[in-house]
Structure 1
Amino acid sequence: MTRRTAFLAFSLVIAIGLLGLQSWDLALGRIERSAVEAIEARTGFAVKSLERAEIALLPLPRISLSKVAFAQRDGVVAGEAVRVRAYLRLLPLLTGRLGIGRIDLVAPQLDVAVPAGSDSLGDWLASPLAELEKLRSQSRIVISSGAVFLRAAGAIQSIVRNVNIVIDERGAGEPFGLSGSLTWRGVSTDVSLVWPVAGGSTKAALSVTSPLMKLRFEGTRAGPGEPVIDGTLALSTPSVPQLLDWFGERSRISTALGALTLNADLQLKPREASFTNAVASLDGDRLDGVMKLTDVDGRFALSGTLAGASLDLGRLIRRLPLPAVDAADTSPLDLDGWTGRDIDLRVSVDAARIDGARLADVATYVLVKKGRFETGLLRASAYGGTVKGRFLAVGAPTGVDVKLQAGADKVDVSQAAADLPQLARLVGTGGFQLALDGAGRTFDELLGAMTGRAGISLRQGEVGGIALAELMRRAERNPSQLLRDWHQGKTPFETLAANAGIANGLLVLTDAQMVGPNYRLNLAGNASLRTRQLDMRASLASLSGSLRLPLVLKGPVEAPFFDLESEAFLSPTAGSVPVAPSLIGR
């Protein structure tokens, strides 16, 4: 036998001898009373009932309680466990006292009372953490295979399953700490928390790792009298909508976002989080700035100013669950679904993309309040010119009041056509103006109530797909060849301008004219916003006024019919020559 082995054996014999000298009363009643008092003192829980108590000295001294019911003294947390094991410290035991170093809760079911109507994790954790702060010290607590039921007025708000958590032992003034894993809303999550409960400037830290989120926060709290925490935050998620949905936050606007990484200096105050020196990456597009998240009477509000080099606005818009503007859709317009949270966000970027269109020096914003949604372009440069726009929807007694304003100036359409195939048939430089205002409970009512104005002006360009100038030359030189196919080629123009008034969902042209080298085209008529049908007529005339050709523009906006009227006449100064009806429309 070595000296070390002999020494250990001798120490064990002395310890057993000392234990034998103590007047231990191993009666079940005293075990229960002593164990319960020690557990209550070291956990802050009051034991309400238990089935039986047992003590064992080997291999480690411990007291085991079966089927234990317990509760915090104010009733915020209550529950029961299949077994509670209290591991005893050896030195106090040698002097006849029960000193607990660790407490195991085996398969506990905890009920946590949360405020009625609360739906945030912060509200749910506030009361239990406040009770733990009241303890001057506590033992190491190990929770295995547990479940936590969050209840408001007896109704279950949420359930946390597979709770395997270790709460660190702490002394007076030391921070509260825990680490382990749990499953919440079907997602397995590893957590680690250090929370200051007393003293001056104290460390605070949080780590959360799950398939939906990786979060790291490290900082300090100023003190219990000043509940302000400052630190650094690192957050990443593959999907912002899925992450918010995990926390019970469902927002239609958030569907515009995809993968996000965020690094920032974070300051936490009661119901307020401020992000400074923030660096956010949205699907690879970097934005820098400041943001603030506040909670006012249970309503979250996000505000901030961000700037970056580039941003794909088109990708953000495509992800939104935007309803189709269709008069056949008779379902009520749902503005509340878009205004559930307050937002005041301003974004400026050097370059932006919107479905192929390239913009520069862009300033955009989103402004949301209860019953009000507004967004727009404050400024943007595009293809040698400028563009702007504003969309506003406000709840009204008549449903939803919508205002739409858009405009462009000095834009080179031929440059834009390289990025926007829908403009491939149009060349020229100019702009447009649009202003619409209407209210309704459905799209049918809204479109039928629209009023406003629209205008377009271009110069030195051409229109593809028709050859009006060639049609005029044929009519002047050889009327018999008039109806040869003129729906090919291009029509150059010197100026193109159109103005329209809109009332009760009907757009009426007040002045529309296109002038080319040898022709003038005047257009008159109307278009229905509800049916998207055109009903217009045009007059194609030579600049000398000696010839006039009537045309018709009818049908759906997506594919209108544009041709000579079936009773068109050539009208030279010397007389009128009819065009054979059988040739019209070829």
Structure 2
Amino acid sequence: MTRRTAFLAFSLVIAIGLLGLQSWDLALGRIERSAIRAIEERTGFAVKSLERAEIALLPLPRISLSKVVFAQRDGAVAGEAARVRAYLRLMPLLTGRLGVSRIDLVAPQLDVAVPAGSDGVTDWLSAPLAELEKLRSQSRIVISSGVLFLRAAGTVQSIVRDVNIVIDERGPDDPFGLSGSFTWRGVQSDVSLLWPVAGSATKAALSANSSLLKLRFDGTRAGPGEPVVNGTLALSTPSVPQLLDWFGEKSRISTALGALTLNADLQLKPREASFTNAMASLDGDRLDGVMKLTDVDGRLALSGTLAGASLDMGRLIRRLPLPAVDAADQSPLDLDGWTGRDIDLRISVDAAKLNGARLADVATYVLVKKGRFETGLLRATAYGGTVKARFLAVSAPGGVDVKVQAGLDRVDFGQAGADVPQLPRLSGTGGFQLALDGAGKTFDELLGAMTGRAGINLRQGEIGGIALAELVRRAERNPSQLLRDWHQGKTPFDTLAANAGIANGLLVLTDAQMNGTNYRLSLAGNASLRTRQLDMRASLASLSGSLRLPLVLKGSVDGPLFDLESEAFLSPTGSSGNTAVPALIGR
């Protein structure tokens, strides 16, 4: 036997001897009273009942209570455990007293009372943590295989399973600390918390790790009398919508976001979080600035100003669950689903992409209030010109009041069309203006109530898919060749201008002309916003005045018919009558 082994054996003999000198009353009643008093002093829980109590001295002195029912003194937390073990300190035990160093709650079921209507983790944990903060000291508490029920007025709001948490021992003025894991809403998470309960300028830290969230916060708290926390935050998630859904936050706007990484200086105040020197990465697009998250009467509000080098705006918009603008959809317009939280975000980037279009020097914004949604482009340059846009939807007695404004100025449509294949086959430099205003409870009502105006003005361009100039030349030279396919090729123009008024969902052309080197095209008629049907007539005339060809433009906006009328006439200048085009026309 070594000297060290001999020394340990000798110490054990002495300890057992000292224990033997004490007049221990091992009656069940005294064990229960001593164990209950020690647990209540070191945990803040009041023991309501238990089945039996046992004491064991080896290998470590401990008291074991079976089927224990307990509750916090204010009733915020109540529950029961299959077994509660209180591990005793050796030195107090040698003098005949019970000193608890660690308490194990085995397979506990805990009920936490939460405010009715609350759905946030902060509300759920505030009462239990406040009760723990009242303790001057606390034993090490180990919770294994626990289940946590969050109840409001007797109704379960949420369940936390597989709770395996260690709450650190602490003395007066020591911070509250815990670490461990749990499963909430199907996601297993590891967590570590250090939270000051007394003193000033005390360290505070939080880390969480799950498949949906990686979070790290390090900072200091000023103290209970001045509950302000300052520190640095690092957060990342592969999916913002899934993360918010995990926390019970339903937001249609958040579906625009994907993976997010956020690093910032964070200041926490009651119902307010301020992010300064913030660096946010949205699917690799970096934005820097400041943000603030506040809680006003239970309504969350996010505000901020961000700037960056680039942003894929088209990707954000494509992810949104935007309803199709379809008059056949008779379901009520739902604005409340888009305005559940207040948002005031201003974003500026050097370059942006929007469904293939390339924008520069972009300033955009999103402004959301209860019953009001607004977004737009304050400024942007594109293809040699400028772009502005605004969309506003407001709850109204008649349903939803919608305003749409858009403007392009000095834009090269040919360059834009090379990046955006969805644009009509149109080139030229000029502008476009649109202003719409309407209200309705459904898309059918909304489109049928639209009023406003629209206009386009281009110069030195061409239209693809038709060859009107060639059609005029054929008609002048040989009318019998008129029906040769002119729905191919291009029509160059010197100027193109069209203006329209919109009333009660009907667009009416008031002035529409296109002029080329040998022709002039005039267009008149209307288009229904509800049915998306065109009903227009065109007149194609040669500049020499020797002929006029009537054309028709009608049918669906997605695939309209543009062709010669079935009975077209050539009208030579100065002729007293009309000469019929051969019967081939219109076959």
State the TM-score, normalized to the length of structure 1.
0.99
Question: Aligned pair in 2 of structure 1 residues 553, 581: CA closer, same or farther (>3 Å)?
Answer: farther
- Supply the distance in 1 between the matched residues of 2:423 and 2:235 (Cα, whole angstroms): 42
Determine if contact 2:115/2:123 at 8 Å carries over to the other structure.
Answer: yes
- Supply the distance in 2 between the matched residues of 1:479 and 1:91 (Cα, whole angstroms): 117
Shift of 1:492: 1.1
Determine if contact 1:339/1:369 at 8 Å carries over to the other structure.
Answer: yes
- Supply the distance in 1 between the matched residues of 2:423 and 2:442 (Cα, whole angstroms): 31
1:417 aligns with 2:417: yes
- Supply the distance in 1 between the matched residues of 2:439 and 2:181 (Cα, whole angstroms): 52
- Supply the distance in 2 between the matched residues of 1:255 and 1:156 (Cα, whole angstroms): 28
Tell me what 2:317 maps to: 317
Q: Secondary structure at the match of 2:415?
A: helix
Tell me what 1:223 maps to: 223
Question: Aligned pair in 2 of structure 1 residues 3, 480: CA closer, same or farther (>3 Å)?
Answer: closer
Determine if contact 2:569/2:581 at 8 Å carries over to the other structure.
Answer: no
Tell me what 1:23 maps to: 23
Q: Secondary structure at the match of 1:224?
A: coil
Paired AA for residue 523 in structure 2:
L
Determine if contact 1:274/1:292 at 8 Å carries over to the other structure.
Answer: yes
Question: Aligned pair in 2 of structure 1 residues 6, 488: CA closer, same or farther (>3 Å)?
Answer: closer
Shift of 1:186: 0.6
Which one is further off, 358-367 or 414-423?
A: 414-423
Runs of 4+ in 1 over 6 A off after TM superposition: none
1:584 aligns with 2:575: no
Determine if contact 1:566/1:581 at 8 Å carries over to the other structure.
Answer: no
- Supply the distance in 1 between the matched residues of 2:483 and 2:85 (Cα, whole angstroms): 99
- Supply the distance in 2 between the matched residues of 1:216 and 1:299 (Cα, whole angstroms): 26
Shift of 1:293: 0.4
Shift of 1:418: 1.1
Tell me what 2:304 maps to: 304
Paired AA for residue 318 in structure 2:
R
Q: Secondary structure at the match of 1:223?
A: coil
Tell me what 2:159 maps to: 159
Q: How does 1:24-39 map to 2 (within 5 A)?
A: 24-39=24-39
Shift of 1:478: 2.3
Q: Secondary structure at the match of 1:476?
A: helix
Number of residues paired by the alignment?
A: 586
Shift of 1:544: 3.3
CA deviation profile, 1:468-501 (whole Å, cap 9, x unmatched): 1111122222222222221122111111000000
Shift of 1:528: 0.2
Determine if contact 1:363/1:380 at 8 Å carries over to the other structure.
Answer: yes
Tell me what 2:360 maps to: 360
Determine if contact 1:418/1:424 at 8 Å carries over to the other structure.
Answer: no
CA deviation profile, 1:426-479 (whole Å, cap 9, x unmatched): 110001000000000000000000000000000011111111111112222222
Shift of 1:93: 0.2
Tell me what 2:213 maps to: 213
Q: Secondary structure at the match of 1:583?
A: coil
Q: How does 1:98-177 map to 2 (within 5 A)?
A: 98-177=98-177
Paired AA for residue 241 in structure 1:
P
CA deviation profile, 1:151-189 (whole Å, cap 9, x unmatched): 011110100000000000000000000000000001000
- Supply the distance in 2 between the matched residues of 1:5 and 1:527 (Cα, whole angstroms): 100
Determine if contact 1:265/1:277 at 8 Å carries over to the other structure.
Answer: yes
Shift of 1:10: 1.8
CA deviation profile, 1:167-217 (whole Å, cap 9, x unmatched): 000000000000000000010000000011000110100000000000000
Tell me what 2:560 maps to: 560
Q: How does 1:330-349 map to 2 (within 5 A)?
A: 330-349=330-349
Paired AA for residue 22 in structure 2:
Q
Paired AA for residue 18 in structure 1:
L
Determine if contact 2:213/2:243 at 8 Å carries over to the other structure.
Answer: yes
Tell me what 1:200 maps to: 200
Which one is further off, 55-64 or 538-547?
A: 538-547
Tell me what 1:379 maps to: 379
| Sequence identity (%) | 87
- Supply the distance in 1 between the matched residues of 2:224 and 2:333 (Cα, whole angstroms): 48
Tell me what 2:509 maps to: 509
Tell me what 2:465 maps to: 465
Paired AA for residue 416 in structure 2:
A
State the TM-score, normalized to the length of structure 2.
0.99
- Supply the distance in 2 between the matched residues of 1:106 and 1:279 (Cα, whole angstroms): 43
CA deviation profile, 1:36-57 (whole Å, cap 9, x unmatched): 0011000000000000100000
Determine if contact 1:461/1:494 at 8 Å carries over to the other structure.
Answer: yes
Question: Aligned pair in 2 of structure 1 residues 581, 145: CA closer, same or farther (>3 Å)?
Answer: farther
Paired AA for residue 332 in structure 1:
P
Root-mean-square deviation (CA, aligned residues, Å) is 1.0
- Extract unaligned runs of 5+ from structure 2: none
- Supply the distance in 1 between the matched residues of 2:389 and 2:3 (Cα, whole angstroms): 89
Determine if contact 1:414/1:424 at 8 Å carries over to the other structure.
Answer: no
- Supply the distance in 2 between the matched residues of 1:406 and 1:583 (Cα, whole angstroms): 44
- Supply the distance in 1 between the matched residues of 2:225 and 2:421 (Cα, whole angstroms): 63
